[in-house]
C-alpha cells in the first residue's frame, strides 16, 4: 500500500508567522490570520485539508459499502465541516460534521442511513480521527 507524505515549514511566532504546506500537488501558504479568517478562501489551512480528506475517504467508503450490499450509487456528494475551537491548552479540532447526499437506485432512506453510519465508522480517515466527535447527516437525493 502506498505511503503518502506532506511537509510543512513555519517561520516566526504562531500569531505573526507564516508557513507553507507542501503536498504532492502543490504548495499552500498559510498563517494564523488566514487560518482564523472564515472569509479567506485564497489560503489553505490544516482543518480544510482534514475536511477534504474526510469527505473524499468517506465518499469512497460509502460507495464500497453500498456496492458490497448490491447497490450501485449513481452519485455521492459529501461536504465536511471541521470545527476549530479554543481549549484549555490552545486550539483543538472539536467536531467534524459529514453531510452526504446520494442517488442510489432501489434503496430506501432507512437502509441508506444505516449503511451511511457504518461507512462513517469504518472509513480509514474517520478511524484516524476517532478522538474527535464525528456527526453524520445522510439522506438520499430525490
Q: What is the pLDDT of residues 70-119, one digit of tens each?
A: 999 999 999 999 999 988 888 899 999 999 999 999 999 999 999 999 99
Question: What confidence score (pLDDT) does residue 38 get?
Answer: 78
The torsion angles phi and psi of 137, rounded to 5 degrees, stand at: -125, 105
Give the separation between CA 73 and CA 38, rounded to whole angstroms.
Answer: 33
Average pLDDT of the chain is 94
Percent of the chain with pLDDT over 90: 79
Look at residue 36 in the predicted model and tell me its pLDDT: 84
63 pLDDT tier (thresholds 50, 70, 90): very high
CB atoms under 10 Å from CB of 119, counted, come to: 25
Asked whether the whole model's pTM tops 0.85, one would answer yes
Per-residue pLDDT, averaged over 108-134, amounts to 97
pLDDT of 99 reads 98
pLDDT of residue 39: 80
Residue ranges of domains in the chain: 1-44, 46-140
- Convert 24-57 into a string of H (helix), E (strand) and C (coil): CCEEEEEEHHHHHCCCCCCCCCHHHHHHHHHHHH
Can you list the positions of beta strands (E) in the chain?
7-11, 18-23, 26-31, 73-87, 90-104, 134-140
Percent of the chain with pLDDT over 70: 100
Superfamily of domain 46-140: K homology (KH) domain (3.30.300.20)
Amino acid at each position: 500500500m502506498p505511503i503518502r507524505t506532506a511537509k510543512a515549514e513555519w517561520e516566526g511566532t504562531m500569531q505573526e508567522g507564516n508557513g507553507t504546506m507542501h503536498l504532492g500537488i502543490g504548495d499552500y501558504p498559510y498563517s494564523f490570520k488566514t487560518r482564523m479568517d472564515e472569509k479567506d478562501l485564497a489560503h489553505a489551512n490544516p482543518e480544510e485539508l482534514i475536511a477534504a480528506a474526510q469527505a473524499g475517504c468517506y465518499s469512497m467508503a460509502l460507495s464500497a459499502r453500498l456496492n458490497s450490499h448490491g447497490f450501485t450509487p449513481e452519485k455521492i456528494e459529501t461536504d465536511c465541516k471541521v470545527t476549530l475551537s479554543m481549549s484549555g491548552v490552545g486550539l483543538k479540532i472539536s467536531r467534524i460534521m459529514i453531510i452526504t447526499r446520494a442517488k442510489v437506485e432501489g434503496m430506501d432512506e432507512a437502509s441508506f442511513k444505516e449503511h451511511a453510519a457504518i461507512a462513517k465508522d469504518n472509513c480509514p480517515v474517520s478511524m484516524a480521527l476517532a478522538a474527535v466527535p464525528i456527526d453524520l447527516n445522510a439522506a438520499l437525493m430525490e
